[in-house]
Amino acid sequence: MMNKKKINKYCIYFVLITGLTACIAMLFPQIRQMIIELTGHILHRKISLYQQWMKGLLSLAMGGIFFFILLSYCSLTASGKIFVHMVKTEIRDCFTEINWRSFTKPILLMFVVYSLGILSLIRADFLYLDDIGRSIVGNRGFFPFSRYVPEFLSIFIHANFQLMDISPLPQLIAIFILAVSSVLLVYVLNNRQITIIGLLASIPLGLSPYMLECLSYRYDAPYMALTVLVSIVPFLFIAYKKAFVFCSVILLLIMWMTYQAASGIYLLITLILCFNKWNSKQETNREIFLFLGRAFLSFCMAMLIFKLFLMRPFNTYVSNAVLPLSQIFSGTLTNFQTYVNTISNDFGLIWKTFIGIIICFFIAKSVYTSVQNRIYSFVASVILLCLLFILSFGAFIVLEHPLYAPRAMYGFGLLLSIISICLATKYNNNFAKIAVLALSWSFFVFAFSYGNALADQKRFANFRIGILMQDLSHLFPDKEDNKIIIQIKNSIGFSPVVRSMAIQYPIIYRLVPQMLMENDAWSNVYFLEYFNYSTTVLQMNMKEGEQFVDFNILDLPIVLKTYYHTIKSDGKRVLVELNKVIK
């Protein structure tokens, strides 16, 4: 009887040959076209609908070829088997060395802190942008953005192929992941020691204003938080070269396939570790450069695999296309200037003051505790901070049209957390620790204000929408025969509570959606479909024939004028002019 090893070997050969043949076949246009036609025939859809979807098939085929070649090397060659065995051994040894029980209480502490921080956000019960569509339709829709991990994980979290509103469970999962991330970040940066002061210093990781927008998404929050965790975990294996490289590539691939805004976190931790080792002479320059090379190689490998085989082209409100080589320098500089200006406009005087003090203390600490030449240490710390600031924006810094929404900038919160942890755990200066704790406390307090602002804006928006719906239902009561097209002009602005908060926290204007405004897709869905009005009217900003008609240029008669809005209509086209409010 054929032994078990031979059976496994032949099974591997069969899978490899079959998969390789299928991948090579997909390289031929005739075969791809045949699959497109067959898919359209089976699903009774037009072939053109699948042209865009099938464009990525070539990349997946190439990725399949790459995967099968790698699998062949690891399973069939002697050197590949040795490498796999060594990686498994190093991972097992690393797990054995770590005292996992020591993480329990710190994780519980940070989970409580983050739970309190988003308590008012959960209480607000606010449908945040994408949440509106997901709640109504139940679609996942992560594939077009190359976010394959959320596409599959959402099935398990929601226990269904269709997404349902199960809040606050996803947000609780998210803050648990962030709690683990905070503990591991302190563990990695503080020589495998976890202290209370270090944990409190890590609060910007989970409660920075930018991360708060991520936590506002009741469907997407766990996956955004996951990108932070997978960017930190590889550094648990830092003492094991092969395991570190292997885990870095795998976990960074998960990050790339989840939410690309976290692409700079891994590099931030790498550089700060290299600087600390150099500044204290814990390792030789050669050892530091070898570690830097391994980390950089791992990052590039994961990025190239994602770019070549997994990334789908995307160009709507943001583009994932990299700047042309001729514009790489000028374009990157422009993106960085915009990034700096955005943060400067978002943060109020108090936050800027705390951050400035912490940066000064970090430079002073680097010079004071250095065993290198003090001048070299000063210059190196300044250069390091500049690099960290640039890399906190991740890969977005080199894109043609990067995204500057708060949810895309949470790398800056990680930067503040890293600097704060280094100050709080490796510097016996009480003033520095007070500054670190003051920044964490200010973010903690802001989280409460932000949740309350969402609740107040929701009440304000629902009030204005309720009045508008009542007026529209009186003016156009026929549900079947009188289909109308609605366009919105102006916006309802922000509630008095939000405007008051913006005096000290300007970022609140970017965090809190207005919910009813001109040229905003989600407010259209919210006030029409969520309030069950889209069944009686056509959605706003629709095209008449082939050309879009702006109702503002039409001389539509006024059919109703109230304190809050003016409605103009000719019976079919409706223009709602919302009364302007002071921002």
pLDDT single digits (tens) 133-154 = 888 887 777 666 778 888 889 8
Residue 56 has pLDDT above 80, yes or no: no
State yes or no: pLDDT of 69 exceeds 90: no
434-481 residue pLDDT tens:
999 999 999 999 999 999 999 999 999 999 999 999 998 888 887 666
- With a cut of 50, say whether residue 206 has pLDDT above it: yes
User: 């500044």: which residue's tokens?
Assistant: 279
HSE-up (13 A, CA, CB side) for residue 55: 10
Continuous segment of H or E residues that includes residue 568: strand 565-569
Q: How far apart are CA 178 and CA 373, in angstroms?
A: 38
pLDDT score of 47: 45
* Axis crossing angle, helix 169-189 with helix 148-157, rounded to the nearest 10: 120
One-character DSSP codes across 414-449: HHHHHHHHHHHHS---HHHHHHHHHHHHHHHHHHHH
Give the residue from 465, 499, 503, 489 showing the smallest Cα distance to 540.
489
CA proximity to 563, closest of 575, 577, 582, 573: 577
**7 pLDDT higher than 90:** no
Tell me, what amino acid is at 550?
A: D
| HSE-CB of 151 using CA atoms within 13 angstroms | 10
- CA dihedral 429→369→182→119, nearest 10 degrees, is 20
Token pair of 244 as six digits: 């570190």
Nearest alpha-carbon partner for 181 in 396, 444, 413: 413
How long a stretch of residues is the chain? Answer: 583
The string of DSSP letters for 89-135 reads: HHHHHHHHHS-GGGGHHHHHHHHHHHHHHTHHHHHHT---THHHHHH
pTM (two decimals): 0.88
* Dihedral angle sign, alpha carbons of residues 404, 410, 411, 416: positive
Helix (H, G, I), strand (E, B) or coil at 577: strand
